[in-house]
Amino acid sequence: MLASQMISRDARLLVPVAVLAMLLFAHSVVGRLRMRRLLMSGDVERVIGTWEGTIERVPHSETMAPLLQATAYASYGWIEAARRALARAVEGPAWDAALEQRLFVETLLDTFEGDRETAMRKAHALEALPMPRAGLLARRRVALLRRGLAALTRAFAHTSRDGDAALLAKAAVNSPLVHWAMRYAGAIVAVDCGRPREANELLSGAPAWPTQSAFHEFHRELTTRSALG
């Protein structure tokens, strides 16, 4: 979901954009079921390993490789690793063009770190960006992902709106990379609305998150809260 102006500024950025699209919309590529299972496994190191060799050979790899690593780490709640990856990204032409991607990563990190107001502001800024020049289906997926991210920030801030639960569920299916981030946001909405059974269903099947992931603590807390009704 990199901003379309990246390719318009430098056509060589098509490869890293395609890699990221594969991660976000795994069901649209060859081997989609296998990739989808990998993305939903929570194994962030394996996810990164599937494309790391390729992305390091593309133009602007000094920016793109760390940025894509940060995207994966942030999507699985690895806050410190994502921040380190962002710090390694060289702020050159690709950095400037990747505003949409950076907003995506920073919104997730601010949300998981507890800076909910900043996260909601960034999600709003992301929604306000021009849509990429792509086919109708791709534009719809990008729009859903943006809206889902905004709903995620509201869920963690306990300010969800009517329809956010359904929006989060759709975003979880639409983008396997953020499947579990959206599921945890949905569980928060369910708990806040007094629906512990629904929260438990959303948490079922979750990976055994390592302590490096914020999802480890989210899962423990949400399980406890849903058990208390």
pLDDT at 111: 98
Name the residue with higher pLDDT: 228 or 50. 50
Span 68-95, pLDDT tens digits: 899 999 999 999 999 999 999 998 878 8
Name the residue with higher pLDDT: 20 or 157. 157
Span 208-225, pLDDT tens digits: 999 999 999 999 999 998
pLDDT at 24: 52
pLDDT at 207: 96
**Domain extent for 80:** 5-227
Give the mean pLDDT of 198-206. 95
User: Encoding tokens for residue 186?
Assistant: 């949905």
pTM (two decimals) = 0.85
Q: What number of CA atoms fall less than 13 Å from residue 186's CA on the CB side?
A: 25
Is the pLDDT at 30 greater than 60? The verdict is no
- Count of other CB atoms within 10 angstroms of residue 36: 18
Q: How many domains does the chain have?
A: 1
- How many residues in total does the chain contain? 229
pLDDT at 56: 67
pLDDT at 5: 40
pLDDT at 54: 67
Render 70-98 in DSSP notation, one character per residue.
HHHHHHTT-HHHHHHHHHHS--SHHHHHT
Name the residue with higher pLDDT: 190 or 226. 190
131, 112 Cβ separation under 8 angstroms: no
pLDDT cut 70: percent of the chain above it: 82
pLDDT at 8: 44
In which band, very low, low, confident or very high, does the pLDDT at 23 lie, cut at 50, 70 and 90? Answer: low
Q: What number of CA atoms fall less than 13 Å from residue 9's CA on the CB side?
A: 16
Span 175-184, pLDDT tens digits: 999 999 999 9
Sign for the CA dihedral angle at 92, 97, 99, 100 comes to negative
Please enumerate in sequence order all residues whose Cβ is within 8 A of that of 68, keeping only pairs 6 or more positions apart, or say none: 16, 19, 20, 23, 48, 51, 55
